Amino acid sequence: MKPLAELVRYNILALDPYSTARDEYGGQRIDVWLDANESPYDNGVNRYPDPHQRRLRELLAERKGVAAERIFIGNGSDEAIDLAYRIFCQPGVDNAVSIAPTYGMYRVAAAVNDIELREVPLGGNFSLPVERLLAAADEHTKLLWLCSPNNPTGNAFPTAAIEELLRRFDGMVVLDEAYIDFADTAGFLPRLDEFPNLIVLQTLSKAWGMAGLRIGLAFAAKEVVDLFTRVKYPYNIPCLTQQTAAELLDRKLAPQIDEIRRERELLARELTACPCVERVYPSQTNFLLLRTPAPDALYDALIGAGVIVRNRSRIAGCEGCLRVTVGTPEENRRLLNTVKNFRV
């Protein structure tokens, strides 16, 4: 890995971030706040939220086993994705490398920030093309995007292959673990100390069931998290979002995750037996990717039955494929009834 100062954009290193009066104050307890031009009339949301999400970060640190100073909380993982480009990539000069197919926001955020994204197709059975990813990089490659378990393919990549990329790539490796709670492996969060060039993305949208709150998490070395905090907008997480997330973190996830895994395996078996399904790919996520000779027709049939899935058939590497989220047992039965009765 290159020194961090050689990877970060020069203007970001020199940036004087926005600060609030409450950031600057460190004295005795204050109960009269006349610094931010807020309404003084209490209605539960009249004050600006904590820009550093201190309580929520402390709770997440406890749940995840990571120091709070190594956690960045974003408005969805998409904010962290966008910030990675803004921090490390000079527009029109630097580039990033990504697997393909994968989560589409890596490409969208690259385009928004005028960064070339070099997409490297996955190998056979959606395997990780380590050597081709490294060969795609040059002296201007600052980021390497990996999603494991991957969306939309559903598979997790071997630990050894990810380790090799972390050791051999000179820039920052962003490992998106949005679906790690459904996988058989623990992921790389416990290994941040081993790899200073590692940024792990996770989310509260999937297993934690908080998609409506839009909370994404980035875990990295303190120096990297400090850069994310410096560049983000000051009040990126609303106060009600912080409060609700903190309350919901007290729930026990294991029963729901276990049920989703059981339903995933049941769905895979049942879909594999359907005449219109050619293949159901192995999954370490809360969704299944299936291949059919008539993806558009099956998609339309499901819509006619009031069931919406994701048509991925026009994505290179996913030709003929639909992506199906694992729902409740009742929702899954409804999906299966339609697929079983569909004829090409």
* The pLDDT of residue 27: 63
Domain enclosing residue 292, as ranges? 254-341
* The pLDDT of residue 201: 98
Residues 109, 161 within the same domain:
yes
Helix axes 329-341, 295-304, angle to 10 degrees: 130
Structurally, how many domains does the chain consist of?
2
pLDDT along the chain (344 residues), means of 10: 94 91 72 90 94 96 97 98 98 98 98 98 98 98 98 98 98 98 95 97 97 98 98 96 97 94 98 98 98 98 98 97 98 98 88
* The pLDDT of residue 26: 64
CA distance 341 to 289: 19
28: in domain: no
pTM beyond 0.85, yes or no: yes
Residues 332, 186 within the same domain:
no
Q: Which token pair is 166?
A: 């972390």
Across the beta sheet with 95-100, the strand order is 71-75, 215-219, 198-203, 172-176, 141-147, 95-100, 116-121
308: in domain: yes
Residues 242, 164 within the same domain:
yes
Q: Which token pair is 340?
A: 């079983």
Residue 300 maps to which CATH number?
3.90.1150.10
134: in domain: yes
130: in domain: yes
Residues 244, 262 within the same domain:
no
Q: Which token pair is 267?
A: 């769905």
Residue 133 maps to which CATH number?
3.40.640.10
Q: Which of 232, 248, 264 is the last residue of a domain?
A: 248
Nearest to 326 by CA among 310, 341, 304, 344: 310
